[in-house]
Each structure stands twice: as C-alpha cells, then as structure tokens.
Amino acid sequence: MSEIKMFNRWSTEGIEVKDPGIKDYISLKPVVVPRISHGRHASKQFYKSEVNIVERLMNHLFVPGHRGKRHRISSAKCSGHSEAVYNIVKECFEIIEKKLKKNPIEVFVKAVENAALREEVSSYRVGSIITRKAVITSPQRRVDLALRYMVQGAYRKVMKGNKGMADYLAEEIINAYNNSKDSFAISEKERLEREAEGAR
C-alpha cells in the first residue's frame, strides 16, 4: 500500500511528539483530507485525542473563541465553510514549507509543544473570599489552549492587517516553533505561567 499523506502532500511518518505530557493527546493518525468534525464526537470522553491534530486546528478556525470575559474578540466574521478553512490550512502549510524548507506538520507539532502551558491559575471561594491558586493544566487542555491561542493570535492580526488568514497563521506557527515572543501563543503561555508562579 502507498503511504497516506496529509493533503496528499505531507507525510506524518517519523514525526515524534517529544513532550511526554501531551504525547498521547496529539494524534498524527494519517488522513488524506482532514475532515472538520463540528463536534460530532463530543459525547465520547477524550474523543479529541483520536482526532488528527490538523483537524483540531481546523475546528478552532471556525470559532477562534473570545478573548477574556468581556469578549474583546468576536468570531462573527469567521467563515462557516469547511472548504474555506481547508484551503486556509493548506495554504498556511505551503507557506511554512516554502519559508523553513521543512515538513510543515512537523513544524506545527513542535509549535504546539512549545505553546502548551504547564500550569495556570484557578480561582475558588473560601467563605466570603475568592482565592487564587496555581494548578497543573491537564494535558488535553494544554493542547486545546495552544491551538486556541495560535488561532486567536492570527485572527487578531488579520482584523488589523492587510494579509490573509493563511499568512498570519503561518507566521504565528513559525514564531511558536522558534519559541519567539512574537507569537501570541508563546506570550500568553508565559503570562499565565508567571501568574501561576505568583499564586503559589
């Protein structure tokens, strides 16, 4: 049998997740066409662990999510078309391959590893006082937040810039791959971990 390649171009063979904490939560199961699931398997516990990581990125592109409690970012202008999201991710990977001369899926997986925060702050009530405490972030949430912040960073730039979503998403993934503070995902990770360190 011939090897199954993502978008019929890029192989997932030989790509290794080096972070043991999230290794079981990043699926690299080969698929030719990543299919947007629209939460079809949401009733099954830990279903996301079985969904290819590229497909999970595509799901986040439909709804980048709100920034903060005041909903500073609205998802109203996002496309509801699967083909549009598919083309954005494909073009994004082509840009990454052109700039870094590497397998874009390998770059993307490393970017997710770099952007996955390890601890955050949780608020809880003790009597009449609200207390903040540092907590370890669950592996599934680590991956979800990394993907969300990457998409939010690109989405925020596209609202102000003059380039397309694919360009800004590629830029965000490359910056996260390089562990650069220019990446919104990396800067958010460091901010949350600093808050957690202060709340210990």
Give Cβ neighbours of residue 60 (< 8 Å, ≥ 6 apart). 147, 148, 150, 151
Exposure class string for 86-115: b at 16+ Cβ within 10 A, else e: bebbbbbbbbbbeebeebbbbbbbbbbbbb
pTM of this prediction exceeds 0.75: yes
pLDDT tens for 148-184 read 999 989 988 887 878 888 999 999 999 999 999 899 9
- Among 15, 191, 199, CA closest to 103: 15
Look at residue 1 and tell me whether its pLDDT is greater than 60.
no
Tokens of 185: 């995902």
| Per-residue pLDDT band at 200 (split at 50, 70, 90) | confident
| Percentage with pLDDT > 70 across the chain | 87
CA-to-CA distance for 19 and 191, rounded, in angstroms? 21
Look at residue 120 and tell me whether its pLDDT is greater than 80.
yes
Look at residue 117 and tell me whether its pLDDT is greater than 60.
yes
State CA 163 to chain mean position distance. 20
CATH code that applies to domain 23-113+143-184: 1.10.455.10
Mean pLDDT value across residues 34-48: 71
Mean pLDDT value across residues 11-22: 89
Instruction: Give the phi and the psi of residue 24 in degrees, each rounded to 5.
Output: -80, -5
Mean pLDDT lowest among 22-31, 62-71, 97-106, 176-185: 62-71
Output the DSSP codes for 111-165.
HHHHH--SEEEEEEEETTEEEEEEEEPPHHHHHHHHHHHHHHHHHHHHHHSSS-H
Mean pLDDT lowest among 41-55, 81-95, 117-131: 41-55
If one counts every other C-beta atom within 10 angstroms of the C-beta of residue 169, the result is: 27
Whether 110 and 178 have beta carbons less than 8 Å apart is answered as no
Look at residue 138 and tell me whether its pLDDT is greater than 60.
yes
CA-to-CA distance for 83 and 41, rounded, in angstroms? 20
Domain extents in the chain: 23-113+143-184
